[in-house]
Amino acid sequence: MTDLHHKLQALYEEVAQRNPGEKEFHQAVYEVLTSLGPVVDKHPDLADIAVIRRLCEPERQIIFRVPWLDDSGNVQINRGFRVEFNSALGPFKGGLRFHPSVYLGIVKFLGFEQIFKNSLTGLPIGGGKGGSDFDPKGRSDNEVMRFCQSFMTELYRHLGEYTDVPAGDIGVGTREIGYMFGQYKRITNRYESGMLTGKGLTWGGSQVRTEATGYGTVFFVDEILQSTGQSFEGKQVVVSGSGNVAIYAIEKVHSLGGTVIACSDSSGYLRDDKGIDVELLKEIKEINRGRITDYVEARGGAAQVVTDRSVWEVPCDIALPCATQNEVSGEDAIQLIKSGCLIVAEGANMPCTPEAVKNFEEAGVTFAPGKAVNAGGVATSALEMQQNASRDSWTFDDTEARLAEIMRRIHDRCLSTADEYGQPGNYVAGANIAGFTRVADAMLALGLV
């Protein structure tokens, strides 16, 4: 682990001690604190330790029971979470995750990351995150609906367009957002479009929201390539996951001239040297809710599935981890470095372990962190809120152009901040410091709240 500034070391120990067992949250806090040493030295007023301490403590944490009936008439009980982390810049904003691994430590790591990510977009949104240990996999549409209705029956009282605005994440797509929005509307008797983002296009959603995180990830990498006189043309790319972020990252890489030769799900990875057929992948994953083995069966030919090894063994120029936290280990990183990978950009939240990040940095691989790379999703959610507030809807091309511009600005903000703090080319330092200074400035202006 990198050494922390002595003032921050004591703070980190306090956070770890106050939040026992929440290892992902500790990891996320540590990662941000490693970048803040130069800010403490240069701007002791802004980086007042009390401000950083306040940032590490959520404004509000909500944990609740979610009872629902399965198709056999059995009572099922899940646990629901919403962590409203920081609202200095705007209403709490961040997705809901439905996955059996969800517990408070995961929601807090995601909510903490979200503060800096949302700040980096330059838009008026605070940070929060939520979810449940409910597993939608293998559940019928009716079961998912009953779960979502029960989840919203408790959560609705904490939400609102000026208060807290959730969106999707792992296991939560347009179907789940629809069921939750419907229940909120029913309970409150208000068609309050701006209280939830990721809505369908016919009921208040924005063009490009579905594509935004994946497209934004690739726009960010394109900026990295352009800054060194390169492009995606001819580049071989490996993407992990085959969900929302992965699918649209693959689509955009192909449209910019690169080839994605492998992707994965929790059962293994698929390799297709001709390039992943993204329309087929969408049909299998988005419509049929199938597995990567279904892709290989339908595609035939040279495509193959590997179930017992990591997707990171596939040699590539660019790696885009787009599945989940801590999916790239130190050994995976060494394998990527040995096979000549030049750029690693996190489409998912914190997919690279600290060991992996250290290995990339030492080997000179360009590494870009999720809070900058995948910020296009939440930025487009903010664009959805803008359209809802003005009762307007923009075209696909207009919205995509705005997304590309936002990603360009985030990229440039990371680089200029890294330069300003004497760490040229360090996207981690740039993202953390730029995200932190905007929030800290607002927190100081708002007084002790």
Q: Which is nearer to ligand NDP, 118 or 259 (CB)?
A: 118
366 φ/ψ angles, rounded to the nearest 5 degrees: -70, 125
β-bridge mates for residue 75, sequence order: 69
Query: Residue 443 corresponds to which tokens in the numbers above?
Result: 């927190």
Among 125, 323, 336, 404, binds ligand NDP (CB under 6 A): 323
Among 22, 133, 222, 265, binds ligand NDP (CB under 6 A): 265
State the minimum distance, in angstroms, from the CB of residue 168 to ligand NDP.
5
Among 127, 243, 258, 435, binds ligand NDP (CB under 6 A): 243
Among 27, 132, 183, 244, binds ligand NDP (CB under 6 A): 244
State the minimum distance, in angstroms, from the CB of residue 324 to ligand NDP.
4
User: CA 27 to CA 31: how far, in whole Å?
Assistant: 6
Q: Which is nearer to ligand NDP, 143 or 176 (CB)?
A: 176
Residue with tokens 């301490």: 53
Among 149, 349, 359, 426, binds ligand NDP (CB under 6 A): 349
Catalytic: which of 93, 108, 117, 129? 129
Q: For the CA atoms of 358, 326, 295, 267, what is the dihedral angle to 10 degrees?
A: 130
Q: Which stretch binds ligand NDP (CB under 6 A): 69-77, 239-247, 295-303, 436-444?
A: 239-247
User: CA 95 to CA 334: how far, in whole Å?
Assistant: 32
Strand arrangement of the beta sheet that strand 60-69 belongs to = 60-69, 75-86, 127-132, 92-98, 164-167
Among 324, 366, 388, 417, binds ligand NDP (CB under 6 A): 324
Among 169, 176, 211, 317, binds ligand NDP (CB under 6 A): 169
Confirm whether 42 is a catalytic residue.
no
User: CA 292 to CA 306: how far, in whole Å?
Assistant: 10
> Crossing angle of helices 396-420/209-227, nearest 10°?
40
State the minimum distance, in angstroms, from the CB of residue 377 to ligand NDP.
3
Residue with tokens 């040699």: 315
Does the footprint of ligand NDP cover residue 171 (CB under 6 A)? yes
Does the footprint of ligand NDP cover residue 245 (CB under 6 A)? yes
Does the footprint of ligand NDP cover residue 266 (CB under 6 A)? yes
Query: Residue 31 corresponds to which tokens in the numbers above?
Result: 């990662």
Among 118, 132, 149, 242, binds ligand NDP (CB under 6 A): 242
Q: Which is nearer to ligand NDP, 149 or 217 (CB)?
A: 217
Number of residues lying near ligand NDP (CB under 6 A): 22
Q: Which is nearer to ligand NDP, 51 or 102 (CB)?
A: 102
Q: Which stretch binds ligand NDP (CB under 6 A): 9-17, 265-273, 295-303, 391-399?
A: 265-273
Q: Which is nearer to ligand NDP, 153 or 353 (CB)?
A: 353
State the minimum distance, in angstroms, from the CB of residue 41 to ligand NDP.
32
Chain centroid offset of residue 157 CA: 25
Does the footprint of ligand NDP cover residue 372 (CB under 6 A)? no
User: CA 262 to CA 314: how far, in whole Å?
Assistant: 7
Strand 343-345 to 259-265 pairing: unpaired
* Closest residue by beta carbon to ligand NDP: 243
With b for 16 or more beta-carbon neighbours within 10 A and e for fewer, the 132-168 pattern comes to bbbebeebeeebbbbbbbbbbbebbebbbbeebbbbb
Does the footprint of ligand NDP cover residue 435 (CB under 6 A)? no
Number of H helices, E strands in the chain: 16, 12
Chain centroid offset of residue 197 CA: 14
Query: Residue 164 corresponds to which tokens in the numbers above?
Result: 């807290």
Q: Which is nearer to ligand NDP, 87 or 244 (CB)?
A: 244
Q: Which is nearer to ligand NDP, 267 or 288 (CB)?
A: 267
Q: Which is nearer to ligand NDP, 149 or 374 (CB)?
A: 374
Among 80, 91, 126, 241, binds ligand NDP (CB under 6 A): 241
Query: Residue 162 corresponds to which tokens in the numbers above?
Result: 């000026």
Among 8, 115, 170, 225, binds ligand NDP (CB under 6 A): 170
Does the footprint of ligand NDP cover residue 348 (CB under 6 A)? yes
Whether the CB-CB separation of 315 and 339 falls below 8 Å is answered with yes
DSSP assignment, residue 352? B
Strand 60-69 to 92-98 pairing: unpaired
Q: Which is nearer to ligand NDP, 39 or 110 (CB)?
A: 110
What type of residue sits at position 35? S
Does the footprint of ligand NDP cover residue 213 (CB under 6 A)? yes
DSSP assignment, residue 318? E
The CA radius of gyration of the chain, in Å to the nearest whole number, is: 21
User: What residues line the site for ligand NDP (CB under 6 A)?
Assistant: 168-171, 213, 241-246, 265-267, 322-324, 347-349, 374, 377
Annotated catalytic residues are: 129
